[in-house]
Amino acid sequence: MDFESIAKSAKKAALKIADLSADIKNKALLAIANNIEKNKTEIFAANKKDLTEAEGLVAKGELSKSTFNRLKLDENKMRDMLQGIRDVAALEDPVNKKLFVRELDEGLTLYKVSCPIGVLGIIFEARPDVIAQISSLAIKSANAVILKGGKESINTNKAILGIINETLDNIEGFPKNVLQQVFTRDDVAEMLKCDKYINLIIPRGGNKLVKFIKEKTKIPVLGHADGICHIFTDETADLDLAIKVIIDAKTQYPSACNSVETLLIHENFPETEKLLAALQLAEIKLVDNPDSWAFEHGDTTLAFKKVKNLDKAINHINTYGSGHTDSIITKNLENAEKFMNKVDSAGVYFNTSTRFADGFRYGFGAEVGISTNKTHARGPVGLEGLTIYKYKLIGNGHIVKDYVDGTKQFHHKDLH
């Protein structure tokens, strides 16, 4: 099937799923989780095949070690994936929520109501659990999706989406073609040209992928290019707390986009040497004065720098950061508040690890990605970020002429 036909069928599916009941959507999600769990052996086998092929690419230098690490689907990721789908089912339906109700005049009422975006084009690298996350969020938010995963995870992606669509085929009343998958670079090129049918592109991958997509499409793009996250250790920071938080932020999953890349330390922090020694003991590779402060290492490398004060730390982050997630370690509440207000990032944290920047950990059930955009959606994008709104106006023969002539007056009374 050519890409335009896929996009057309996605548009038709989006119109059909838009008013699907919450009961049918939740029934579908729970059945998907159950069937993925029943067939996890098949999924692990497909993932093993991908990993074996990817090992050869790593050896040839055609695939990075961090991408290879993201590719692996183990029992822990499977558990979180299943829990994520079930959590999405348990969330309130995000569609047809009344965001406000305003009586413009007697008998003339305006409603602002949430609705799906429509058709989403999702382009992602490695991470096979992304398919289940996006599919569950798309179903709950009543959007149709065209998915393009990386070739390195093709077998896993096919296995998971095959189980999902097989499940949906058996859910009475669920429309066809809500979730579709494409596989080639040509499909990506066609997707980016398809602004007639696709409403939003969401890339999940490295800087190179995101920049390429933004340059090649007229369709709005939601996402982030870099994950250059910072932690600032203020002069009043507790040493043990700082060690625990920084080690978690760097080593818990080094290739993740919310892993810390730069540590800033107040020049008057009295325990600097102890802090750096503890980080080295945790097998973190410390780099003083790197070639670039705007660099995402994706491994256990951590750039560090001493700064004169809080303002210098904030200025450094706003200059070199990617607007993703940044944290301050301090006992000074005033400094913490200033940091969180002045750092221009989607997530600003106080005494905690940057690794919490995640839709599952925020209680969104899952996420389609993390956005550093300043419009529509920011931070981990869950159900709310996959809806937009429309205005419904209900009257009884009301006409504008009466208000222009002064026969009638607006009174704009908010009812909700």
- Can you tell me the distance from the alpha carbon of 222 to that of 200, in angstroms, rounded to the nearest whole number? 7
The Cβ of residue 2 has, within 10 Å, a number of other Cβ atoms equal to 10
pLDDT in tens, 109-118: 999 999 999 9
255 and 316 housed in the same domain: yes
Domain carrying residue 313: 229-356
**Residue 177 shares a structural domain with residue 59:** yes
Looking at 163, 196, 221, the residue that finishes a domain is 221
416 has a pLDDT exceeding 80? no
CATH number of the structural domain spanning residue 313? 3.40.309.10
First-residue to last-residue Cα distance in the chain: 47
Same domain? For 61 and 200 the reply is yes
Q: For 13-72, where are the E strands, in sequence order?
A: none
Do 237 and 212 reside in the same domain of the chain? Answer: no
CA 308 to chain centre: 34
Rounded to whole angstroms, how far apart are CA atoms 198 and 196?
6
Asked if 152 and 15 sit in the same domain, the reply is yes
Residues 235 and 134 in one domain: no
Task: Give me the mean pLDDT over the 186-192 stretch.
Answer: 95
Distance CA 403, CA 175 (A): 44
Kindly state whether residues 304 and 194 are assigned to the same domain: no
Give residue 228's pLDDT.
95
Residues 57 and 197 reside in one and the same domain: yes
Residues in Cβ contact with 248 at an 8 Å cutoff, skipping those fewer than 6 apart: 353, 355
Q: Is residue 351 part of a domain?
A: yes
Residue 210's pLDDT is 85
Cβ–Cβ under 8 Å, residues 131 and 161: yes
Within-domain flag for 37: yes
Q: Where are the beta strands (DSSP E) in 267-346?
A: 285-288, 301-307, 325-329
* Average pLDDT score over residue span 290-309: 95
Residue-level pLDDT at 54: 92
Same domain? For 84 and 175 the reply is yes
Q: Compute CA distances 32 → 165, 170, 172, whole Å.
A: 9, 11, 14
Which two three-digit tokens encode residue 297? 């290492």
Q: Of 221, 249, 277, which residue constitutes the final position of a domain?
A: 221
Rounded to an integer, the average pLDDT of 193-202 is 96
The answer to whether the CB of 105 falls within 8 A of the CB of 409 is yes
**What pLDDT, in 10s, does the model give residues 311-360?**
999 999 999 999 999 999 999 999 999 999 999 999 999 999 999 999 98
CATH of the domain at 192: 3.40.605.10
- Residue 145 · residue 122 · CB < 8 Å: yes
Beta strands in 183-300 (DSSP E): 200-204, 229-233, 260-266, 285-288
Q: What is the mean pLDDT of the chain?
A: 94
What pLDDT is stored for residue 334 in this prediction?
Answer: 98
173 and 29 within one domain: yes
Indicate if the pLDDT at residue 216 is higher than 90: yes
pLDDT score of 114:
97
Give a yes or no: residue 399 inside a domain.
Answer: no
139 in a structural domain: yes
pLDDT computed for residue 87 by the predictor: 93
pLDDT above 80 for 387 = yes
Name the least confident of 63-67, 82-86, 201-205, 406-410.
63-67
Mean pLDDT over 380-401 rounds to 95
Question: Residue 367's pLDDT is what?
Answer: 87
Residue 57 pLDDT:
87
pLDDT of 198 reads 98
Q: Is residue 189 part of a domain?
A: yes
Is residue 364 a part of any domain in this protein? Answer: no
Residue 242 shares a structural domain with residue 174? no
Residue bearing tokens 């919490």: 356
Compare 61 and 389 and report the one with higher pLDDT.
Answer: 389
pTM of the model: 0.87
58 and 157: one domain? yes
- Cα dist from 354 to 117, 259, 260, 365, whole Å: 29, 6, 7, 19
Q: How far apart are CA 305 and CA 310, in angstroms?
A: 13
Beta bridge partners of 260: 229
Res 53: pLDDT: 92
- What whole-number distance in Å separates Cα of residue 260 and Cα of residue 416? 42
Statement: residue 206 has pLDDT above 80? no
Q: What is the pLDDT of residue 360?
A: 87
The DSSP bridge partners found for residue 386 are none
Q: Are 233 and 302 in contact (CB under 8 A)?
A: no
The highest-confidence range among 248-252, 376-380, 412-416, by mean pLDDT, is 248-252
Q: Does any domain span residue 199?
A: yes
Query: pLDDT tens across 31-43, in order?
Result: 999 999 999 999 9
| The total number of structural domains that make up the chain | 2
* Boundary-marking domain end, from 221, 255, 275: 221
Would you say residue 65 lies in a domain?
yes
The two tokens of residue 237 are 């920071």
Strand 301-307, strand 379-381: pairing: unpaired
Q: How confident is the model at residue 158 (pLDDT cuts 50, 70, 90)?
A: very high
